Amino acid sequence: MVKKEIDEITGTETTGHEWDGLKELNTPLPRWWLWTFYASIVWAVFYWVMMPSWPLINDYARGIRGHSQRAIVMQEVAALQDLRGETGQALTDASLQDIQSTPNLLEFAMANGKAAFGDNCAPCHGSGGGGAIGYPNLNDDDWLWGGTLDDIHQTLLYGIRTDNDDARIGDMPAFGRDEILDADQVRDVASYVASLSGLETDPAADLANGETVYVDNCAVCHGDDGKGMAEVGAPNLADNIWLYGGDLNAIVHRIQIGGGGVMPAWVDRLDPVTLKSLAVYVHSLGGGE
């Protein structure tokens, strides 16, 4: 039989449950808390009925209201297109050169491009376009694929090493990993490349042999003088501007593993006006040709 009693310390009735001398007090939740809890349950059921909530196999329960955040975004995009009006249409029809030389179009493109850059490009290139290791600096005049308005626009549209048929494609072989060059050749050619920019070289390296290895394996893309070729995305090795680090170890590592970075194709992600605006904005950062 459950034995209830009054706790001497708290003056509260016990439930009659006892474990190893510990007695449970009968302290029910406050009624205001219970009513709030019950109201939350009622609200949850109401929300399930009215709003999108439950996931299904191939879709989701859309609710009586049929609310869709995506539909709201599409409405806002349409409103933005209306707001752009004639200026947006003029930007669509104008060439990149005409945009750059027409003050009102240039002003519109710069404002639009800056906003789009912050939303889409800054995570990799930095808010000011200064780049980072593996992500090009857009402020200098050193371009892998060319820095004219048309070059930048082309790169934005189709990306680099993407699955788009018009993407920029150009890979550096893994000379060390694939055993195209042996360890001594990698050491020598890395030191020779470092010497083109006046960097410190390996004292054990044979620079004359490094030059021979360079001419036989690297000059076809980077040129006999090491100044690169934008046609294939081969960087200038003689200007002391480095994408993956400019010390001797970084150069050796790149010769070992080869490869190259990937930039998304934006043609299916951003509208033509935004892409043109981005091209004009990036070109204006200080490194456009």
Establish whether 67 is an annotated binding residue: no
Q: What count of residues does the chain have?
A: 289
CA–CA distance, 187 with 185 (Å, rounded to integer): 5
CA–CA distance, 159 with 156 (Å, rounded to integer): 6
DSSP letter for 233, please. T
Report H helices in 147-259: 149-158, 183-196, 207-217, 219-222, 248-257
241 forms beta bridges with: none
Establish whether 283 is an annotated binding residue: no
Establish whether 121 is an annotated binding residue: yes
CB 194 within 8 A of CB 239: no
Pairing of strands 22-25, 14-19: antiparallel
DSSP 22-54: EEEE--PPPHHHHHHHHHHHHHHHHHHHHS---
13 three-class SS? strand
DSSP 46-114: HHHHHS---B-SSSB--TTT---HHHHHHHHHHHHHHHHHHHHHHHHHS-HHHHHH-HHHHHHHHHHHH
Establish whether 110 is an annotated binding residue: no
Establish whether 263 is an annotated binding residue: yes
Q: At 32, which amino acid appears? A: W
- Positions at the binding site: 121, 124-125, 172, 218, 221-222, 263
- Positions at the binding site for heme c: 121, 124-125, 172, 218, 221-222, 263
